[in-house]
Protein backbone atom coordinates (compact mmCIF):
# COMPACT_ATOMS: atom_id res chain seq x y z
CA UNK A 1 0.00 0.00 0.00
CA UNK A 2 2.82 2.35 0.85
CA UNK A 3 4.49 1.63 -2.47
CA UNK A 4 1.30 2.54 -4.37
CA UNK A 5 1.05 5.90 -2.58
CA UNK A 6 4.73 6.58 -3.27
CA UNK A 7 4.26 5.85 -7.00
CA UNK A 8 1.26 8.23 -7.23
CA UNK A 9 3.23 11.03 -5.59
CA UNK A 10 6.15 10.65 -7.99
CA UNK A 11 3.83 10.63 -11.03
CA UNK A 12 2.09 13.78 -9.80
CA UNK A 13 5.40 15.58 -9.29
CA UNK A 14 6.58 14.61 -12.78
CA UNK A 15 3.33 15.87 -14.31
CA UNK A 16 3.73 19.21 -12.51
CA UNK A 17 7.28 19.49 -13.73
CA UNK A 18 6.24 18.77 -17.31
CA UNK A 19 3.43 21.33 -17.10
CA UNK A 20 5.74 24.01 -15.75
CA UNK A 21 8.26 23.38 -18.46
CA UNK A 22 5.59 23.52 -21.11
CA UNK A 23 4.33 26.84 -19.83
CA UNK A 24 7.85 28.24 -19.85
CA UNK A 25 8.40 27.03 -23.39
CA UNK A 26 5.12 28.60 -24.52
CA UNK A 27 6.06 31.83 -22.83
CA UNK A 28 9.52 31.86 -24.50
CA UNK A 29 8.22 30.86 -27.95
CA UNK A 30 8.84 33.82 -30.25
CA UNK A 31 7.83 32.14 -33.48
CA UNK A 32 4.12 32.38 -32.77
CA UNK A 33 2.28 35.40 -34.17
CA UNK A 34 1.45 38.01 -31.55
CA UNK A 35 -1.93 39.61 -32.19
CA UNK A 36 -1.79 43.41 -32.21
CA UNK A 37 -4.25 45.18 -29.92
CA UNK A 38 -7.36 46.26 -31.79
CA UNK A 39 -7.70 50.07 -31.68
CA UNK A 40 -10.88 51.29 -30.10
CA UNK A 41 -13.38 52.88 -32.46
CA UNK A 42 -13.87 56.56 -31.76
CA UNK A 43 -17.43 57.40 -30.81
CA UNK A 44 -19.17 60.61 -31.78
CA UNK A 45 -20.48 61.83 -28.43
CA UNK A 46 -21.91 65.20 -29.39
CA UNK A 47 -24.83 66.65 -27.46
CA UNK A 48 -26.25 70.13 -27.97
CA UNK A 49 -27.86 72.38 -25.38
CA UNK A 50 -30.61 74.54 -26.94
CA UNK A 51 -32.00 77.52 -25.04
CA UNK A 52 -33.05 81.13 -25.53
CA UNK A 53 -33.18 84.43 -23.72
CA UNK A 54 -36.24 86.28 -22.49
CA UNK A 55 -38.28 88.27 -24.99
CA UNK A 56 -38.30 85.96 -28.02
CA UNK A 57 -41.21 86.26 -30.44
CA UNK A 58 -43.41 83.47 -31.80
CA UNK A 59 -41.37 83.26 -35.02
CA UNK A 60 -38.13 82.80 -33.07
CA UNK A 61 -39.75 80.15 -30.89
CA UNK A 62 -41.04 78.25 -33.93
CA UNK A 63 -37.53 78.29 -35.43
CA UNK A 64 -36.18 76.81 -32.21
CA UNK A 65 -38.81 74.08 -32.31
CA UNK A 66 -37.93 73.28 -35.93
CA UNK A 67 -34.24 72.88 -35.06
CA UNK A 68 -35.14 70.72 -32.07
CA UNK A 69 -37.17 68.48 -34.39
CA UNK A 70 -34.34 68.18 -36.91
CA UNK A 71 -31.64 67.44 -34.32
CA UNK A 72 -32.52 64.47 -32.07
CA UNK A 73 -29.34 64.90 -30.00
CA UNK A 74 -30.51 68.32 -28.75
CA UNK A 75 -31.32 68.91 -25.08
CA UNK A 76 -33.71 71.86 -24.74
CA UNK A 77 -33.51 73.94 -21.57
CA UNK A 78 -35.56 76.77 -20.10
CA UNK A 79 -34.94 80.42 -20.91
CA UNK A 80 -31.93 82.24 -19.52
CA UNK A 81 -33.12 84.98 -17.21
CA UNK A 82 -30.41 87.57 -17.85
CA UNK A 83 -28.55 88.40 -21.07
CA UNK A 84 -25.56 89.69 -19.08
CA UNK A 85 -24.70 86.30 -17.55
CA UNK A 86 -23.47 84.39 -20.59
CA UNK A 87 -20.67 82.91 -18.48
CA UNK A 88 -23.31 80.65 -16.90
CA UNK A 89 -23.99 78.84 -20.19
CA UNK A 90 -20.90 76.55 -20.05
CA UNK A 91 -21.96 75.47 -16.54
CA UNK A 92 -25.51 74.76 -17.75
CA UNK A 93 -24.12 72.70 -20.63
CA UNK A 94 -21.95 70.74 -18.21
CA UNK A 95 -24.92 70.05 -15.94
CA UNK A 96 -26.86 68.70 -18.94
CA UNK A 97 -23.89 66.60 -20.18
CA UNK A 98 -23.66 68.69 -23.36
CA UNK A 99 -20.48 69.75 -25.15
CA UNK A 100 -22.16 72.15 -27.63
CA UNK A 101 -24.53 75.08 -27.12
CA UNK A 102 -27.00 76.89 -29.39
CA UNK A 103 -28.18 80.06 -27.65
CA UNK A 104 -30.92 82.27 -29.15
CA UNK A 105 -30.54 85.87 -28.00
CA UNK A 106 -33.45 88.22 -28.71
CA UNK A 107 -33.07 92.00 -28.56
CA UNK A 108 -35.79 94.67 -28.80
CA UNK A 109 -38.32 91.87 -29.54
CA UNK A 110 -37.32 91.96 -33.22
CA UNK A 111 -33.59 91.20 -33.59
CA UNK A 112 -32.39 87.60 -33.24
CA UNK A 113 -28.80 86.53 -32.62
CA UNK A 114 -27.53 82.95 -32.44
CA UNK A 115 -24.50 81.84 -30.44
CA UNK A 116 -22.94 78.55 -31.60
CA UNK A 117 -20.30 77.45 -29.10
CA UNK A 118 -18.18 74.50 -28.09
CA UNK A 119 -18.27 74.17 -24.34
CA UNK A 120 -16.43 74.54 -22.06
CA UNK A 121 -13.28 75.64 -23.90
CA UNK A 122 -14.64 77.29 -27.04
CA UNK A 123 -14.62 78.64 -29.66
CA UNK A 124 -17.94 80.47 -29.96
CA UNK A 125 -19.53 82.23 -32.93
CA UNK A 126 -22.03 85.08 -32.68
CA UNK A 127 -24.31 85.48 -35.72
CA UNK A 128 -27.23 87.68 -36.72
CA UNK A 129 -30.28 85.82 -38.06
CA UNK A 130 -32.29 87.22 -40.98
CA UNK A 131 -34.99 86.04 -43.42
CA UNK A 132 -36.44 83.43 -41.07
CA UNK A 133 -39.08 81.13 -42.59
CA UNK A 134 -40.31 78.23 -40.45
CA UNK A 135 -41.68 74.86 -41.60
CA UNK A 136 -45.30 75.78 -40.86
CA UNK A 137 -44.95 79.03 -42.74
CA UNK A 138 -43.36 77.56 -45.89
CA UNK A 139 -45.59 74.46 -46.21
CA UNK A 140 -43.15 72.71 -48.52
CA UNK A 141 -43.94 69.31 -50.03
CA UNK A 142 -40.79 67.69 -48.63
CA UNK A 143 -40.92 65.53 -45.52
CA UNK A 144 -38.55 63.39 -43.47
CA UNK A 145 -38.80 60.92 -40.62
CA UNK A 146 -38.73 62.53 -37.19
CA UNK A 147 -35.51 61.60 -35.44
CA UNK A 148 -33.67 60.57 -38.60
CA UNK A 149 -30.09 61.60 -39.19
CA UNK A 150 -29.20 64.12 -41.87
CA UNK A 151 -26.18 64.65 -44.08
CA UNK A 152 -24.44 67.97 -43.35
CA UNK A 153 -23.23 69.58 -46.59
CA UNK A 154 -21.00 72.66 -46.86
CA UNK A 155 -20.22 74.91 -49.78
CA UNK A 156 -16.63 74.97 -51.07
CA UNK A 157 -16.45 78.63 -50.01
CA UNK A 158 -16.04 77.46 -46.40
CA UNK A 159 -12.57 76.07 -47.17
CA UNK A 160 -11.28 79.32 -48.68
CA UNK A 161 -11.25 81.43 -45.49
CA UNK A 162 -10.05 80.80 -41.95
CA UNK A 163 -13.32 81.83 -40.34
CA UNK A 164 -15.16 79.60 -42.83
CA UNK A 165 -13.11 76.53 -41.86
CA UNK A 166 -13.64 77.23 -38.17
CA UNK A 167 -17.38 77.73 -38.68
CA UNK A 168 -17.57 74.51 -40.69
CA UNK A 169 -15.96 72.54 -37.87
CA UNK A 170 -18.29 73.99 -35.22
CA UNK A 171 -21.39 73.40 -37.37
CA UNK A 172 -20.27 69.82 -38.06
CA UNK A 173 -20.23 69.12 -34.32
CA UNK A 174 -23.58 70.82 -33.71
CA UNK A 175 -25.67 69.76 -36.72
CA UNK A 176 -24.08 66.34 -37.28
CA UNK A 177 -26.28 63.81 -35.46
CA UNK A 178 -24.21 60.99 -33.87
CA UNK A 179 -25.39 57.47 -34.78
CA UNK A 180 -25.73 56.41 -31.14
CA UNK A 181 -27.90 59.37 -30.10
CA UNK A 182 -30.71 58.32 -27.80
CA UNK A 183 -33.58 59.66 -29.93
CA UNK A 184 -31.94 59.11 -33.33
CA UNK A 185 -33.31 56.59 -35.80
CA UNK A 186 -31.02 54.60 -38.14
CA UNK A 187 -32.19 56.42 -41.28
CA UNK A 188 -30.61 59.13 -43.43
CA UNK A 189 -33.32 60.75 -45.52
CA UNK A 190 -32.53 64.48 -45.58
CA UNK A 191 -29.60 66.81 -46.13
CA UNK A 192 -28.72 70.06 -44.33
CA UNK A 193 -26.91 72.50 -46.61
CA UNK A 194 -24.83 75.54 -45.65
CA UNK A 195 -23.78 77.92 -48.43
CA UNK A 196 -21.82 81.18 -48.33
CA UNK A 197 -23.07 84.04 -50.50
CA UNK A 198 -22.29 87.74 -49.96
CA UNK A 199 -20.41 86.81 -46.74
CA UNK A 200 -23.62 85.35 -45.34
CA UNK A 201 -24.41 81.72 -44.48
CA UNK A 202 -27.60 80.41 -46.11
CA UNK A 203 -29.29 77.38 -44.52
CA UNK A 204 -31.60 74.98 -46.37
CA UNK A 205 -33.03 71.55 -45.54
CA UNK A 206 -33.91 69.07 -48.32
CA UNK A 207 -35.50 65.64 -48.41
CA UNK A 208 -33.68 62.93 -50.37
CA UNK A 209 -36.19 61.31 -52.73
CA UNK A 210 -34.88 58.11 -54.31
CA UNK A 211 -37.97 57.25 -56.39
CA UNK A 212 -40.26 59.25 -58.58
CA UNK A 213 -43.66 59.37 -56.81
CA UNK A 214 -45.40 59.34 -60.21
CA UNK A 215 -43.52 56.18 -61.25
CA UNK A 216 -42.89 54.09 -58.12
CA UNK A 217 -41.97 51.01 -60.17
CA UNK A 218 -39.62 52.89 -62.47
CA UNK A 219 -35.84 53.23 -62.23
CA UNK A 220 -34.52 55.10 -59.16
CA UNK A 221 -34.03 58.81 -59.75
CA UNK A 222 -32.54 60.65 -56.79
CA UNK A 223 -33.85 64.18 -56.33
CA UNK A 224 -34.10 66.80 -53.58
CA UNK A 225 -37.31 68.36 -52.26
CA UNK A 226 -37.09 71.24 -49.80
CA UNK A 227 -38.56 70.75 -46.34
CA UNK A 228 -37.60 73.88 -44.39
CA UNK A 229 -36.87 75.91 -42.36
CA UNK A 230 -34.91 78.69 -44.05
CA UNK A 231 -32.73 81.35 -42.50
CA UNK A 232 -29.63 83.43 -43.23
CA UNK A 233 -26.76 83.89 -40.77
CA UNK A 234 -24.39 86.85 -40.77
CA UNK A 235 -21.25 86.14 -38.71
CA UNK A 236 -20.38 89.01 -36.39
CA UNK A 237 -17.54 87.79 -34.16
CA UNK A 238 -15.72 84.58 -33.31
CA UNK A 239 -14.38 84.32 -29.78
CA UNK A 240 -11.60 82.06 -28.58
CA UNK A 241 -13.45 80.83 -25.49
CA UNK A 242 -17.01 79.78 -24.77
CA UNK A 243 -19.07 83.02 -24.84
CA UNK A 244 -15.93 84.96 -23.87
CA UNK A 245 -12.24 85.30 -24.61
CA UNK A 246 -10.17 87.03 -27.24
CA UNK A 247 -11.70 87.96 -30.59
CA UNK A 248 -10.47 85.60 -33.30
CA UNK A 249 -12.49 87.13 -36.16
CA UNK A 250 -14.56 90.28 -36.54
CA UNK A 251 -16.75 91.04 -39.54
CA UNK A 252 -15.92 94.59 -40.69
CA UNK A 253 -18.93 94.74 -43.02
CA UNK A 254 -21.55 94.03 -40.37
CA UNK A 255 -23.88 96.88 -39.45
CA UNK A 256 -26.20 96.31 -36.52
CA UNK A 257 -29.95 96.49 -37.23
CA UNK A 258 -30.27 99.18 -34.55
CA UNK A 259 -27.86 101.38 -36.51
CA UNK A 260 -29.84 100.74 -39.71
CA UNK A 261 -33.10 101.75 -38.02
CA UNK A 262 -31.44 104.85 -36.57
CA UNK A 263 -30.20 105.86 -40.02
CA UNK A 264 -33.70 105.39 -41.48
CA UNK A 265 -35.24 107.52 -38.73
CA UNK A 266 -32.60 110.19 -39.27
CA UNK A 267 -33.34 110.19 -43.00
CA UNK A 268 -37.07 110.57 -42.34
CA UNK A 269 -36.32 113.39 -39.89
CA UNK A 270 -34.20 115.18 -42.47
CA UNK A 271 -37.02 114.91 -45.02
CA UNK A 272 -39.48 116.37 -42.51
CA UNK A 273 -37.16 119.25 -41.71
CA UNK A 274 -36.63 120.04 -45.39
CA UNK A 275 -40.39 119.99 -45.97
CA UNK A 276 -40.98 122.43 -43.10
CA UNK A 277 -38.26 124.75 -44.38
CA UNK A 278 -39.88 124.72 -47.84
CA UNK A 279 -43.24 125.63 -46.27
CA UNK A 280 -41.66 128.60 -44.46
CA UNK A 281 -40.04 129.82 -47.67
CA UNK A 282 -43.36 129.52 -49.53
CA UNK A 283 -45.15 131.55 -46.85
CA UNK A 284 -42.42 134.21 -47.04
CA UNK A 285 -42.73 134.48 -50.82
CA UNK A 286 -46.50 134.93 -50.52
CA UNK A 287 -45.99 137.78 -48.08
CA UNK A 288 -43.55 139.46 -50.43
CA UNK A 289 -45.93 139.18 -53.41
CA UNK A 290 -48.88 140.66 -51.50
CA UNK A 291 -49.80 144.18 -52.77
CA UNK A 292 -50.61 147.09 -50.47
CA UNK A 293 -54.24 148.26 -50.29
CA UNK A 294 -55.11 151.09 -52.74
CA UNK A 295 -57.03 153.99 -51.19
CA UNK A 296 -58.82 154.67 -54.50
CA UNK A 297 -60.00 151.10 -54.88
CA UNK A 298 -63.67 150.57 -55.80
CA UNK A 299 -64.34 148.75 -52.54
CA UNK A 300 -63.13 151.73 -50.53
CA UNK A 301 -64.68 154.51 -52.62
CA UNK A 302 -68.21 153.05 -52.67
CA UNK A 303 -68.15 151.49 -49.23
Between 35 and 178, name the one with better pLDDT: 178
- How do residues 201-210 score in pLDDT, each as one tens digit? 999 999 999 8
Span 43-70, average pLDDT: 92
- pLDDT of 24 strictly over 60: no
Q: Which pLDDT does position 4 carry in this prediction? A: 56
Q: What percent of the chain has pLDDT over 70?
A: 86
Class of the CATH-defined domain 48-258: alpha beta
Judge whether residue 133 has pLDDT over 90.
yes
pLDDT tens track for 220-231? 788 899 998 999
- Is residue 241 scored above 60 in pLDDT? yes
- Per-residue pLDDT, 234: 96
Please give the average per-residue pLDDT across 246-265, as a whole number: 92
pLDDT band at 15 (very low <50, low <70, confident <90, very high): low
Confidence of residue 3 (pLDDT cuts 50, 70, 90): low
Residue-level pLDDT at 285: 86
Q: What is the pTM of this model?
A: 0.76
Question: What local confidence, expressed as pLDDT, does residue 222 receive?
Answer: 86
Domain ranges of the chain: 48-258
Interval 163-197: pLDDT, tens? 999 999 999 999 999 988 888 898 899 999 999 99
Predicted local distance difference test score (pLDDT) of residue 17: 53
Confidence at 25, pLDDT banded by 50, 70, 90: very low
Model confidence at 155: pLDDT above 80: yes
Q: What is the DSSP string of the chain?
A: -HHHHHHHHHHHHHHHHHHHHHHHHHHH--SSPPPPPPPPPPP----EEEEEBTT--HHHHHHHHHHHHH-TTEEE-PPBS-TT-GGGHHHHHHHTT-SEEEEEEEETTTEEEEEEEETTT--EEEEEEEEEE-HHHH--S----TTEEEEEEE-GGGGGSHHHHHHHHHHHHHHS--TT-TT-EEEEEEEEEEEEETTEEEEEEEEEE-S-TT-TTS----EEEE---EEEEEEEEEESSSS-S-EEEE-TT---HHHHHHHHHHHHHHHHHHHHHHHHHHHHHHHHHPPPPPTT-HHHHT-
Amino acid sequence: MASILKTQKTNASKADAKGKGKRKAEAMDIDEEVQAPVPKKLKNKQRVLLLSSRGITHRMRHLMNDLETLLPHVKKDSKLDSKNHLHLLPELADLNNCNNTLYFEARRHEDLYIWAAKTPNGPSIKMHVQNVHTMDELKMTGNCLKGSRGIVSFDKEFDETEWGRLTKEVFTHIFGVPPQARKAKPFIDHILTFSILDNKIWFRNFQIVEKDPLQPNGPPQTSLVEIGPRFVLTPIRIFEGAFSGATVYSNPEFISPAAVRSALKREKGDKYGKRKDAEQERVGRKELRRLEEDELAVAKVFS
